[in-house]
Structure 1
């Protein structure tokens, strides 16, 4: 039993050591459509992720989303592995079960599902002025 536990522990250490570690997810992230920006930051115990909608383009269809501007979209989403967070979010008024995965220092993937059947994936890129 002890040898099995040691093997599992060694595998866990190897896997976690081989996982890429990226720059902090803190910052402003823009959806691939370039019409929406979110500010993300580490919160809670320093491993959780919080965020809010901070900018909308002036496209006509964004008028309906203005009530969500500067409102939280993620609050203390728990980290499930390096560069990956999972939890409940509110995106444009819809409650989603979602996952945010940091692909590299400047790219994230946000996948959200409403009612476990309606799922959507967004690419987000770090916004720099």
Structure 2
């Protein structure tokens, strides 16, 4: 059994480079609610993820979020797996421990928890010019 496990691990490692790579997460992403957009880019050593709030719709309740425009929402998130970054997120004045996972070329999932109790998950879609 031990030899099989070792063989399987070697096979997975050798096949990893042949797995399809997703497009870069860099770009402008819109929340599923279509009222908020974030710009994401690779930063630091080129493997970390950074982002900022770049657009709010003109819906009345967004007035309170204008102070957060063009401010960081993710700084130096650390890669924790293929197409997945984890770290501290700053969303609308709240601090979350969160994860951003790229599901496909044009879809991300943003999951975060504040105080380990209040958790939210958002779908984000690439804004294609």
**TM-score in terms of structure 1 length:** 0.90
CA distance in 1, matches of 2:119, 2:20: 27
**1:103 maps to what in 2?**
103
Map residues 67-82 of structure 1 onto 2, 5 A cutoff. Answer: 67-82=67-82
CA RMSD across the alignment: 2.1
**2:61 maps to what in 1?**
61
1:48-77 per-position Cα deviation (integer Å, ceiling 9, x unaligned): 000000000000010110000000000000
**TM-score in terms of structure 2 length:** 0.90
1:3-42 per-position Cα deviation (integer Å, ceiling 9, x unaligned): 6895474155157346542000000000001100000000
CA distance in 2, matches of 1:65, 1:55: 10
| 1:121 aligned onto 2:121 | yes
Extract unaligned runs of 5+ from structure 1: none
Map residues 1-129 of structure 1 onto 2, 5 A cutoff. Answer: 6-7=6-7, 9-10=9-10, 12-13=12-13, 16-17=16-17, 19-129=19-129
